[in-house]
Structure 1
Protein backbone atom coordinates (compact mmCIF):
# COMPACT_ATOMS: atom_id res chain seq x y z
CA UNK A 1 0.00 0.00 0.00
CA UNK A 2 2.74 2.48 0.96
CA UNK A 3 4.60 1.56 -2.21
CA UNK A 4 1.54 2.30 -4.39
CA UNK A 5 1.05 5.65 -2.66
CA UNK A 6 4.71 6.57 -3.20
CA UNK A 7 4.46 5.64 -6.88
CA UNK A 8 1.30 7.73 -7.25
CA UNK A 9 2.97 10.77 -5.64
CA UNK A 10 6.00 10.34 -7.91
CA UNK A 11 3.82 10.15 -11.05
CA UNK A 12 1.84 13.24 -10.05
CA UNK A 13 5.08 15.15 -9.37
CA UNK A 14 6.46 14.21 -12.79
CA UNK A 15 3.20 15.18 -14.52
CA UNK A 16 3.15 18.60 -12.83
CA UNK A 17 6.80 19.20 -13.74
CA UNK A 18 6.13 18.31 -17.37
CA UNK A 19 3.10 20.60 -17.64
CA UNK A 20 4.78 23.57 -15.92
CA UNK A 21 6.79 24.86 -18.91
CA UNK A 22 3.81 24.47 -21.28
CA UNK A 23 1.69 26.64 -18.99
CA UNK A 24 4.25 29.40 -19.23
CA UNK A 25 3.76 29.42 -23.02
CA UNK A 26 7.00 27.61 -23.69
CA UNK A 27 7.52 24.35 -25.46
CA UNK A 28 10.40 22.33 -24.09
CA UNK A 29 13.23 22.77 -26.59
CA UNK A 30 11.27 25.50 -28.41
CA UNK A 31 12.22 29.09 -29.13
CA UNK A 32 11.37 31.80 -26.60
CA UNK A 33 11.84 35.59 -26.81
CA UNK A 34 15.06 37.06 -25.44
CA UNK A 35 13.84 39.09 -22.44
CA UNK A 36 16.29 42.03 -22.67
CA UNK A 37 17.31 43.12 -26.17
CA UNK A 38 19.40 45.93 -24.67
CA UNK A 39 21.65 43.41 -22.91
CA UNK A 40 25.26 44.17 -23.88
CA UNK A 41 26.03 40.48 -24.36
CA UNK A 42 23.18 40.03 -26.89
CA UNK A 43 24.32 43.13 -28.79
CA UNK A 44 27.91 41.85 -28.79
CA UNK A 45 26.69 38.50 -30.10
CA UNK A 46 24.92 40.28 -32.98
CA UNK A 47 28.06 42.22 -33.88
CA UNK A 48 30.10 39.02 -33.74
CA UNK A 49 27.57 37.26 -36.01
CA UNK A 50 27.86 39.99 -38.66
CA UNK A 51 31.68 39.98 -38.47
CA UNK A 52 31.66 36.19 -38.82
CA UNK A 53 29.26 36.42 -41.79
CA UNK A 54 31.66 38.83 -43.52
CA UNK A 55 34.57 36.48 -42.86
CA UNK A 56 32.60 33.55 -44.33
CA UNK A 57 31.52 35.78 -47.27
CA UNK A 58 27.83 35.52 -46.34
CA UNK A 59 27.62 39.32 -46.11
CA UNK A 60 29.33 42.16 -47.98
CA UNK A 61 32.40 43.76 -46.44
CA UNK A 62 30.69 47.15 -46.41
CA UNK A 63 27.85 46.02 -44.13
CA UNK A 64 28.06 47.60 -40.65
CA UNK A 65 26.36 46.39 -37.49
CA UNK A 66 23.92 48.78 -35.82
CA UNK A 67 22.04 46.68 -33.29
CA UNK A 68 20.03 43.55 -32.61
CA UNK A 69 16.37 44.59 -32.76
CA UNK A 70 14.68 41.31 -31.85
CA UNK A 71 15.75 37.84 -30.86
CA UNK A 72 14.80 34.41 -29.66
CA UNK A 73 16.69 31.75 -27.78
CA UNK A 74 16.49 27.98 -27.63
CA UNK A 75 18.04 25.80 -24.94
CA UNK A 76 19.94 22.88 -26.45
CA UNK A 77 23.26 21.46 -25.24
CA UNK A 78 24.18 25.12 -24.99
CA UNK A 79 22.06 27.87 -26.49
CA UNK A 80 20.85 28.75 -29.98
CA UNK A 81 20.13 32.41 -30.64
CA UNK A 82 18.05 33.73 -33.55
CA UNK A 83 18.99 37.41 -33.85
CA UNK A 84 17.35 40.00 -36.10
CA UNK A 85 20.08 42.45 -37.04
CA UNK A 86 19.74 46.07 -38.14
CA UNK A 87 22.71 46.99 -40.33
CA UNK A 88 23.87 49.80 -42.58
CA UNK A 89 25.56 49.63 -45.98
CA UNK A 90 28.94 51.23 -46.73
CA UNK A 91 27.33 54.64 -47.33
CA UNK A 92 25.50 54.53 -43.98
CA UNK A 93 22.03 53.86 -45.41
CA UNK A 94 19.84 51.24 -43.80
CA UNK A 95 20.37 47.81 -45.28
CA UNK A 96 17.64 45.18 -45.35
CA UNK A 97 17.45 43.37 -41.99
CA UNK A 98 19.27 40.06 -41.52
CA UNK A 99 18.63 37.00 -39.38
CA UNK A 100 21.61 35.31 -37.78
CA UNK A 101 21.44 32.00 -35.95
CA UNK A 102 24.29 31.48 -33.50
CA UNK A 103 25.06 28.41 -31.41
CA UNK A 104 26.93 29.03 -28.17
CA UNK A 105 28.20 26.68 -25.50
CA UNK A 106 29.80 28.83 -22.82
CA UNK A 107 31.44 26.05 -20.79
CA UNK A 108 33.44 24.82 -23.82
CA UNK A 109 34.06 28.32 -25.19
CA UNK A 110 32.24 27.36 -28.41
CA UNK A 111 30.52 29.88 -30.64
CA UNK A 112 29.38 29.09 -34.18
CA UNK A 113 27.44 31.00 -36.82
CA UNK A 114 24.83 28.51 -38.04
CA UNK A 115 23.15 30.74 -40.62
CA UNK A 116 23.05 34.33 -41.81
CA UNK A 117 20.51 35.51 -44.37
CA UNK A 118 18.19 38.38 -45.21
CA UNK A 119 15.10 38.49 -43.00
CA UNK A 120 11.69 38.01 -44.56
CA UNK A 121 9.86 41.33 -44.70
CA UNK A 122 7.63 42.03 -41.73
CA UNK A 123 9.90 40.34 -39.24
Structure 2
Protein backbone atom coordinates (compact mmCIF):
# COMPACT_ATOMS: atom_id res chain seq x y z
CA UNK A 1 0.00 0.00 0.00
CA UNK A 2 1.26 3.46 -0.89
CA UNK A 3 1.99 5.45 2.27
CA UNK A 4 3.09 8.68 0.60
CA UNK A 5 1.15 11.79 1.67
CA UNK A 6 -1.49 12.63 -0.95
CA UNK A 7 -1.62 16.22 -2.17
CA UNK A 8 -4.76 17.60 -3.84
CA UNK A 9 -3.72 19.73 -6.82
CA UNK A 10 -5.96 22.03 -8.87
CA UNK A 11 -4.34 23.32 -12.04
CA UNK A 12 -6.03 23.79 -15.42
CA UNK A 13 -2.83 24.15 -17.48
CA UNK A 14 -1.81 20.66 -18.58
CA UNK A 15 1.86 21.57 -19.01
CA UNK A 16 2.02 22.83 -15.43
CA UNK A 17 0.09 19.77 -14.21
CA UNK A 18 2.94 17.60 -15.47
CA UNK A 19 5.60 19.74 -13.81
CA UNK A 20 3.70 19.75 -10.50
CA UNK A 21 3.06 16.01 -10.58
CA UNK A 22 6.70 15.21 -11.35
CA UNK A 23 7.98 17.56 -8.62
CA UNK A 24 5.63 16.16 -5.97
CA UNK A 25 6.34 12.54 -6.93
CA UNK A 26 10.10 13.11 -6.84
CA UNK A 27 9.62 14.88 -3.49
CA UNK A 28 8.00 11.80 -1.98
CA UNK A 29 4.34 12.74 -2.35
CA UNK A 30 1.41 11.32 -4.26
CA UNK A 31 -0.72 13.81 -6.22
CA UNK A 32 -4.34 13.87 -7.33
CA UNK A 33 -4.42 16.50 -10.07
CA UNK A 34 -7.70 18.03 -11.21
CA UNK A 35 -8.58 20.84 -13.58
CA UNK A 36 -11.51 22.35 -11.69
CA UNK A 37 -12.21 23.49 -8.18
CA UNK A 38 -15.65 21.92 -8.21
CA UNK A 39 -14.15 18.48 -8.88
CA UNK A 40 -11.57 18.99 -6.15
CA UNK A 41 -14.15 20.00 -3.55
CA UNK A 42 -16.24 16.94 -4.41
CA UNK A 43 -13.22 14.68 -3.90
CA UNK A 44 -12.12 16.44 -0.71
CA UNK A 45 -15.58 16.32 0.83
CA UNK A 46 -16.05 12.69 -0.24
CA UNK A 47 -13.37 11.69 2.25
CA UNK A 48 -12.14 8.69 0.24
CA UNK A 49 -8.54 9.87 0.53
CA UNK A 50 -6.78 11.55 3.40
CA UNK A 51 -5.42 14.61 1.62
CA UNK A 52 -2.56 16.31 3.44
CA UNK A 53 -2.42 19.61 1.55
CA UNK A 54 -3.93 21.63 -1.29
CA UNK A 55 -1.94 23.12 -4.16
CA UNK A 56 -4.19 25.37 -6.22
CA UNK A 57 -3.83 27.80 -9.06
CA UNK A 58 -5.69 31.01 -8.29
CA UNK A 59 -7.21 31.64 -11.72
CA UNK A 60 -9.19 28.55 -12.71
CA UNK A 61 -11.78 27.72 -15.32
CA UNK A 62 -15.17 27.11 -13.76
CA UNK A 63 -17.21 28.88 -11.12
CA UNK A 64 -14.69 28.81 -8.26
CA UNK A 65 -11.23 30.33 -8.09
CA UNK A 66 -8.36 29.13 -5.91
CA UNK A 67 -9.10 31.66 -3.14
CA UNK A 68 -12.69 30.35 -2.83
CA UNK A 69 -11.71 26.69 -2.90
CA UNK A 70 -9.13 27.13 -0.16
CA UNK A 71 -11.66 29.02 1.99
CA UNK A 72 -14.25 26.24 1.52
CA UNK A 73 -11.74 23.54 2.48
CA UNK A 74 -10.75 25.57 5.52
CA UNK A 75 -14.43 25.59 6.59
CA UNK A 76 -14.11 21.80 6.97
CA UNK A 77 -10.50 21.70 8.22
CA UNK A 78 -9.37 25.09 9.62
CA UNK A 79 -5.66 24.24 9.61
CA UNK A 80 -5.48 22.54 6.21
CA UNK A 81 -2.19 23.42 4.44
CA UNK A 82 -2.68 25.49 1.25
CA UNK A 83 -0.15 26.46 -1.39
CA UNK A 84 -1.38 28.94 -4.00
CA UNK A 85 0.31 29.26 -7.38
CA UNK A 86 -0.34 32.18 -9.69
CA UNK A 87 1.25 34.20 -12.41
CA UNK A 88 -0.99 37.23 -12.06
CA UNK A 89 -2.59 37.23 -8.62
CA UNK A 90 0.35 36.81 -6.22
CA UNK A 91 -0.05 40.38 -4.97
CA UNK A 92 -3.58 39.56 -3.71
CA UNK A 93 -2.38 36.78 -1.39
CA UNK A 94 -2.10 38.96 1.72
CA UNK A 95 -5.72 40.06 1.47
CA UNK A 96 -7.39 36.99 -0.09
CA UNK A 97 -5.31 34.00 0.97
CA UNK A 98 -6.08 31.89 4.01
CA UNK A 99 -3.85 32.08 7.11
CA UNK A 100 -0.85 29.74 7.27
CA UNK A 101 -0.61 29.36 3.50
CA UNK A 102 2.18 29.94 1.00
CA UNK A 103 2.07 31.77 -2.34
CA UNK A 104 4.33 30.66 -5.19
CA UNK A 105 4.53 33.05 -8.12
CA UNK A 106 4.69 31.44 -11.57
CA UNK A 107 7.10 30.53 -12.93
CA UNK A 108 8.45 28.65 -9.93
CA UNK A 109 11.12 25.96 -9.63
CA UNK A 110 9.77 22.48 -8.87
CA UNK A 111 11.95 22.37 -5.76
CA UNK A 112 10.16 25.48 -4.45
CA UNK A 113 6.86 23.62 -4.59
CA UNK A 114 8.19 20.59 -2.74
CA UNK A 115 9.79 22.87 -0.13
CA UNK A 116 6.52 24.79 0.36
CA UNK A 117 4.46 21.60 0.80
CA UNK A 118 7.03 20.12 3.20
CA UNK A 119 7.23 23.34 5.19
CA UNK A 120 3.46 23.53 5.69
CA UNK A 121 3.13 19.82 6.51
CA UNK A 122 5.94 20.00 9.05
CA UNK A 123 4.43 23.04 10.76
CA UNK A 124 0.81 21.82 10.73
CA UNK A 125 -0.69 20.55 13.97
CA UNK A 126 -1.47 16.83 13.89
CA UNK A 127 -4.93 16.07 12.56
CA UNK A 128 -7.31 13.78 14.36
CA UNK A 129 -8.64 10.83 12.42
Q: What TM-score results when the alignment is normalised by the length of structure 2?
A: 0.24
Q: Whose helix fraction is larger, Structure 1's or Structure 2's?
A: 2
Task: Report the structure number with the largest CA radius of gyration.
Answer: 1
- Larger RCO, structure (CA 8 Å, separation 6 or more): 2
Q: Whose strand fraction is larger, Structure 1's or Structure 2's?
A: 1
Q: What TM-score results when the alignment is normalised by the length of structure 1?
A: 0.24
